[in-house]
Structure 1
Amino acid sequence: MTERTERTSCQPSAGRRWAVLGIVSVALFLISIDGSVLFTALPVLSKDLGATAGQQLWILNAYTVVMSGLLLGAGTLGDKLGHRRMFLFGMAVFGVASLACALAYSPGTLIAARVLLAVGAAPMMPATLALIRLTFTDARQRNTAIAVWSMVSVVGAVVGPVVGGLLLEHFHWGSVFLVNVPLIVAAIALGAAVIPRDEPDRSRPWDAVSSLLATVALAAGVLAVEEAARVPPSWAKVAAGLAIAAVLGAAFVRRQRRLDDPLLPLDVFAIPRFTAGVVAAVVTLVAVSGLGLVVAQRFQLVAGYSPFQAGLLLVVLAVGALPSSLVGGMLLNRIGERAPIVWGFAVGALGASIALLGVDSPGWFVAGLVVTGIGLGAPASVASSAIVTSVPASRAGMASSVEEVSYEFGNVLATAFFGGGILFVYGLAVDLPAGAPAGAATSLNEALRVSSDPRVVSAAVDAYDTAFAVVLAAVALVCLVGASVVSRLLRETAPGGADEPGGER
């Protein structure tokens, strides 16, 4: 996208600008929900489809892994073909894939449908943010719009389990995907009428090889983490996965350095605001997705909550995140990025610690989740703005892709490390009585499925609660590390200004 395009093609009326924000927010909400809706639906659909523990992780991971790998290429392709076109195309694919997920009849078909869902989401996500960047030319309005965008992303991830739980109370698990279809149809119709046409830079090259390298490297890394979490793991497979990820990742970096117009210009990471935004985005989603994954499953499997009741626990994260996300975006021009991100992560760590100490007291646990949400809301909106506005408008698609990849990579890390980590700690902590079924040693879900012996169930629950506590402590630690890294990166950055070439507020 060129600077000329931004001046001549994206100056709609005020009403139309906010209509565009509404349409892209609906699309983003659906994408975010589909990343977390299975947190509550997974126990039900796993039982129905007969999914193993490994298949369950890939039902969760297929969507985020594939989307993360495709996002960089999709954003650059949007600069080349037009973000409006990519947005509408992605929504059409997303709608078809949602229907395929709803009709899946085996773990394999559901995983394949989730891959197709990612193929649809990948061109949509960077287009949503690029369209906001190109539509809102006033810096203050743009910061507010990006804050709303970030809020929608976080809220979608948080309420996904609630939506899933509510639908599961009354319908088949396929309904968690089927509900997308009418909303997608409406969004396509409105988007075609309201979203202004942009003028793409068709001369810009697009590198499919780089996108493939990123996708396979990420998938190999996730597979290695999942295998390491098995009890006992195959260390040969772990080593092979890590080796493939390292080799292909290095090949990706080398290719970017050699290309005249790379998929990901590595020089942007020399911009402190850009790099700090990436770190903040990854940390935010690691914390939010990690909590969403383990909280929803723990309170269903251990406390006997229904999927809807377990999902409601996560709404309190959004209750805290909503106001802090908006306030962070509105005050960005006055105070800069450093304070809301660093203090936000510190508050998030405090909230996770409160939840850990109050896990057996519903009141304290909910209070901890609210405090965590308050802490993570501001970094979410500020990170998005830092990434997108620290580079020239001609790189809007690339910056949007990096922003999206950061969030999705955080989601992948949370699912892989916390999803795999909770299985790993469970396997180490479980102390089953003699004669217990072998499957009970792999996961709590499996233990409850293969045995009704109170001794087995008690041992499995105790082990799971140990693993749950470790994950909560890890979330707090991740937030503190994120605060430290961002504080160092932005130490020399003046509030309210941007001293990077081409960047803007």
Structure 2
Amino acid sequence: MVQTSQTLAAHPLASTAARRWLALTALMFPVLLIAVDNTVLAFALPAISLALQPSGTELLWIVDVYALVLAGLLVPMGSLGDRFGRRRMLLIGATGFALVSAAAAFATSAGQLIAARALIGVFGSMIMPATLSLIRNIFADAAERRLAIAIWAAAYSGGAALGPLVGGALLEHFAWGSVFLLAVPALVPLLVLAPFLVPESRDAAPSPVDAPSILLVIAAATAVVYGVKELAHDGGAPAAVVLAVGLVAGWAFVRRQLRRGQPMLDVRLFRTPAFSAGLVTNLLSIFSLVGFVLFLSQHLQLVAGESPLRSGLLMLPGLGLTILTGLAAVRLAARFSAPTVMVAGLLLNALGYGTVLAFGRDGSLPTLLTGFAVVGAGVGLAETLSNDLIIASVPPAKAGAASAISETAYELGAVLGTAILGSVLGAAYRLNVVVPGGLPAEAAARARETLGGAVDAATLLPGPAAAGLVDSARHAFDSGVGVTAAIGAVLMLVAAAVVRRALVPRAR
């Protein structure tokens, strides 16, 4: 992808330590926003369900489409950033992200919101690769870079922690659209400060724009994720065909990159054990966190009956632990080695899900919150070091490619966490909910699809029947806890084994 990069010496703005850390500060604003966006939407889903009355599939698409588009475009946008300037792409993406987010706040149908979320994903794909690759080019010293990436990861975790709190406070007083308006004040500081603080970074000899490769990587990412989501939701031959098309497109993309003298993405990076293990850690850590947030946020509001703000406060310890352990990971890695700390983080993820599997299948709130806190601590340890490992395992000239792939793993993890665990929960709900007679056909269909739909439909029934429907819906929603917890625990154990096998011998 990239053979040579402009050096920091060409950027006076990055020549002093103060300038470097100020530049990092400016880059934290979009990172915070992306993280807030991932968790705040989960808190808004009950309100969106009541206001827009989406089907179960539409509700998942409202969550998924942003990350789906983002995952498909990260590598192409990373390549364009190498060619035209990473800071330039960052600023274009931030401007578009803010404008479309403001428009999404006033969507009047599920279809409009899905379309807006897709367009936000287009602009988000310009932002994500740029932040990490700019950090790699700004911080040439290994010790400074590891600390900068730890702060970057802590900002991502901090945004996840702020999401429920800010979202809860907004939803307590304003309509669901307010969560999308957050993008405007979050991105204005970047747009003002970045031109003065963040040095431009581009490659002196970028690979040519390769339209077939761009189309193949988009087709591969979108078809694979869509196929997995549909298989988990409904199953059937059409979903399997879409998944197969995605795998074939991915194979064709890899073949094309191996044959080109200047590939858009150097797929040989995957032969580096540290690089591949870091990607596995990124993907599955975010999978575990996003999947847990999706379930817990709805359980707190629709099952436990908590307000959005109180729900955010109840989740704060778990998300706060993600920040604290992320910052502690740098010091722990210096003492025990980065691979050892990463494996410990993944095992904590497994322990968190295992706690829910063993003690929380009845929806016990203390158990669910304890399991979430343990998962949060594990994610903080694992993902902080995995990002540094990915960046450090490739030559500086390939930092853009490494950043794009790292961010793709993040987003695929978010999509798959929502698609797989969300679809399992949805299937369990549909199998177990009992909808009484006396409802209009449309309301009954919504009640069979989602917990939010059942709560809304209950308002059309007399007291005893309404209470029965809500009670049945709540128990049906929680019926999938055991299955989702088992999936999460097994995946985290597999990830820990893979990382240990690939990396621990290197640390001896």
Structure-2 change in CA distance of 1:15 and 1:423 (3 Å)? same
Pair 1:157 & 2:160 matched: yes
Question: Is it true that 1:461 corresponds to 2:474 in the alignment?
Answer: yes
Which has the larger displacement, 368-377 or 4-13? 4-13
Deviates more, 1:66-75 or 1:325-334: 325-334
- The correspondence for 1:198, drawn from 193, 197, 201, is 201
> 185-194 or 259-268: which moved more?
259-268
Counterpart of 1:498? none
2-structure distance, mates of 1:183, 1:425: 38
Aligned residues of 2:153 and 2:384 also touching (Cα < 8 A): yes
**8 Å CA contact retained: 1:281, 1:380:** yes
Q: How far did residue 107 of structure 1 move?
A: 1.4
SS at match of 1:21: helix
What letter is aligned with 2:231? A
Within 5 A, what are the aligned runs for 1:401-416?
401-416=404-419
The structure 2 residue matched to 1:474, chosen from 487, 492, 496, is 487
Change (3 A) 1:244 1:184: same
- Quick one: structure 1 residues 27 and 88, their matched pair in 2 at CA, closer, same or farther if it must change by over 3 Å? same
Q: Counterpart of 1:299?
A: 300
- Residue correspondence of structure 1 range 256-271 to structure 2 within 5 A: 256-271=257-272
Partner of residue 63 from structure 2, selected from 54, 60, 65: 60
Q: How does 1:193-272 map to 2 (within 5 A)?
A: 193-230=196-233, 233=234, 235-272=236-273
Alignment of 1:287 with 2:288, yes or no, is yes
Further displaced range: 292-301 or 447-456: 447-456
C-alpha distance in 2 between matches for 1:20 and 1:378? 25
Range 464-473 or range 139-148, more displaced = 464-473
Spell out, residue by residue over 1:247-291, the C-alpha distance to the aligned partner (whole angstroms, 9 max, x if none).
222222222222222222121111111011000000110011001
Task: For 2:112 and 2:449, locate their aligned partners in 1 and report how far apart those are by CA, in whole Å.
Answer: 24
Give per-residue Cα distances to partners, 1:191-213, cap 9 Å, x unaligned. 11111233532542232332332
- 1:277 — aligned with what? 278
Q: Supply the distance in 2 between the matched residues of 1:291 and 1:432 (Cα, whole angstroms).
A: 27
- Could you tell me which runs of 5 or more consecutive residues in structure 1 were left unpaired when the two chains were aligned: 496-505
* Distance 1:235-1:366 versus aligned 2 partners, 3 A rule: closer
The more displaced of 211-220 and 54-63 is 211-220
Q: Does 1:447 align with 2:471?
A: no
Q: Distance in 2 between matches of 1:261 and 1:372?
A: 41
Give 1:330's aligned residue: 331
**Counterpart residue number, 2:79:** 76
Instruction: Decide whether the 8 Å contact of 1:158 with 1:288 is kept in 2.
Output: no
- Give TM-score scaled by structure 2 length: 0.91
Determine the C-alpha separation between the residues in 1 that align with 2:249 and 2:161.
Answer: 33
Asked if residue 49 in structure 1 is aligned to residue 52 in structure 2, the reply is yes
- Structure 2 CA distance for aligned equivalents of residues 315 and 98 of structure 1: 25
1:120-174 residue CA offsets vs partner (Å, 9 max, x unmatched)? 1111111111111111121111100001111111232343233222111111211
Q: Percent identity?
A: 38
TM-score scaled by structure 1? 0.92
The one-letter amino acid of 2:16's match is: S
> Matches of 2:346 and 2:121 in 1, distance apart?
29
- Specify whether residues 421 and 159 from structure 1 end up closer, same or farther in structure 2 by C-alpha distance, changes over 3 A only: farther
Aligned pair partner of 1:14 in 17, 20, 24: 17
Task: Report the Cα distance in structure 2 between the residues aligned to 1:113 and 1:433, rounded to whole angstroms.
Answer: 36
Structure 1: how far apart are the matches of 2:277 and 2:389? 8
Whether the 8 Å contact between 2:55 and 2:446 is mirrored in structure 1 is no
Worse-superposed segment, 274-283 or 217-226: 217-226
How big is the shift at 1:105? 1.9
Contact 1:345/1:379, CA 8 A, preserved across alignment? yes
Matched letter for residue 248 of structure 2:
V
Q: Any idea what the Cα deviations from partners look like across 1:339-360, whole Å, max 9, x if unmatched?
A: 0111111122212333441465
For 1:228, the aligned partner's letter is L
Tell me, yes or no, if structure 1 residue 352 matches structure 2 residue 359. Answer: no
Bigger mean CA deviation after superposition, 177-186 or 144-153: 177-186
1:425 maps to 2:438: no
CA 1:363/1:458 → structure 2, altered by over 3 Å: closer, same or farther? closer
Q: Distance in 1 between matches of 2:158 and 2:79?
A: 27
> Structure 1 residue 372: deviation in Å?
1.9
Residues 457-497 of structure 1: CA distance to partner in whole angstroms, max 9, x if unpaired? 333222211112322332222211111111111143126xx
CA distance in 1, matches of 2:337, 2:445: 55
Which region of structure 1 is more displaced relative to structure 2, 387-396 or 221-230? Answer: 221-230
Q: Which residue of 2 aligns with 1:105?
A: 108
Give the Cα separation in 1 of the matches to 2:216 and 2:3: 27
What amino acid does structure 2 have at the position aligned with 1:137? A
Could you say which residue in structure 2 is the equivalent of 1:382? 385
**Is the 8 Å Cα contact of residues 65 and 215 (structure 1) preserved in structure 2?**
no
Aligned-pair CA distance for 1:7 = 4.4
- Letter in structure 2 aligned against 1:266: V
The one-letter code matched in structure 1 to 2:353 is A
Does the CA contact (< 8 Å) of 1:285 and 1:411 recur in 2? yes
Question: What does residue 143 of structure 1 align with?
Answer: 146
Displacement of 1:402: 0.7
Q: How many angstroms does 1:361 deviate by?
A: 4.5
**How many Å separate the matches in 2 of 1:125 and 1:47?**
32
Looking at structure 2, the residues matched to 340 and 483 of structure 1 have their Cα atoms a distance apart, in angstroms, of 10
Which residue number corresponds to residue 373 of structure 1?
376
Q: In 2, distance between residues paired with 1:410 and 1:494?
A: 27
* Corresponding pairs, count: 493
1:119 aligns with 2:122: yes
Please say which of residues 201-210 and 73-82 is displaced more in the overlay.
201-210
- 8 A contact 1:9–1:197 mirrored in 2: no
CA RMSD of aligned residues (A): 2.2
**Does structure 2 conserve the Cα–Cα contact (< 8 Å) formed by 1:9 and 1:198?**
no
